[in-house]
Structure 1
């Protein structure tokens, strides 16, 4: 009985978390990633985004300075969630990019653009990845 309760709790917790994958991109074909998000106890949305093999934005055909993550929301339009930071180093052969953030707006989808600056209110650059 106790095992059944633990299994039920785990299932309920994982059911609250949604996971979306990024589609293949012609702009950054090696890039793969996903976004997990869930509503927290404060009725905000905790977002955990991870992308692998995303080339540096300055190496794109249309060279840019940074990647910006956007959320599509049903009632509040597009929201800038922040700059996507990449980890590159001596022991990291994969380019790993991550963003963990919280928003008050319920996300319906996500996309990443290559931009000249991170603090913009509307996407201006090329869309490099988008969720289904």
Structure 2
């Protein structure tokens, strides 16, 4: 069998593909995904949190939740949902208020939150509260990524 070899200088396509694949795989390893457990308070709600460490050692947090009922419709009506981040050294931190809204072409309630934290998260939970500016969780936990009760 004779193989024809090109006389043109060029890059080895296999080596380039392998290098690109390795870079993509290493880059994707920086992302951690947390899944919310099924909620006894709002059973239809489901969601996840993606956390990615950036080059400045900050943590980019993207939370998405679907089918989370308005907090006023809970058995004990509340004003808002608060997202909490759990950390090893700094306890639970209020990272933002979660608003629910339906899409233009769908009645599905969706909620999202994007933020940046300097502390490494170990878990997340959402509580129903009457005040968005609280520093410690006081209301009922409606969703959690861990064993928090």
TM range (shorter): over 0.9
- The separation in 2 between residues aligned to 1:93 and 1:2, in whole angstroms, is 46
Counterpart Cα distance in 2 of 1:45 and 1:95: 27
Displacement of 1:91 after TM fit? 2.3
Q: TM-score, normalised by structure 2?
A: 0.85
Correspondence for 2:57: 43
Secondary structure, counterpart of 1:54 in structure 2? coil
**Deviation string for 1:41-91 (max 9, x for gaps)?**
121110000000000000000100110000110001110000012222542
Query: Given the two structures, how large is their TM-score scaled by the length of structure 1?
Result: 0.96
* SS of corresponding position for 1:62: coil
Aligned structure 1 segments of 4 or more residues deviating by more than 6 angstroms: none
Larger relative CO (CA 8 A, sep 6+): 1 or 2?
Answer: 1
1:7 match = 21
Alignment coverage as a number of residue pairs: 132
Higher strand share: 1
Query: Which residue number corresponds to residue 136 of structure 2?
Result: 122
Distance 1:66 1:49 in 2: 16
* Inter-partner Cα distance in structure 2 for 1:57 and 1:101: 22
Show CA shifts across 1:14-67 (max 9, x none).
Answer: 110000100001100000000000111121110000000000000000100110
Where in structure 2 are the equivalents of 1:18-97 lying within 5 Å?
A: 18-97=32-111
Q: Helix, strand or coil for the counterpart of 1:7?
A: helix
CA drift of 1:117 comes to 1.3
Unaligned runs of 5+ in 2: 1-14
CA contact (8 A) 2:124 2:145 kept: yes
Q: Structure 1 regions of 5+ residues with no counterpart?
A: none
Secondary structure of the corresponding residue to residue 19 of structure 2 = helix
**Aligned partner of residue 105 in structure 1, secondary structure:** coil
CA RMSD of aligned residues (A): 1.0
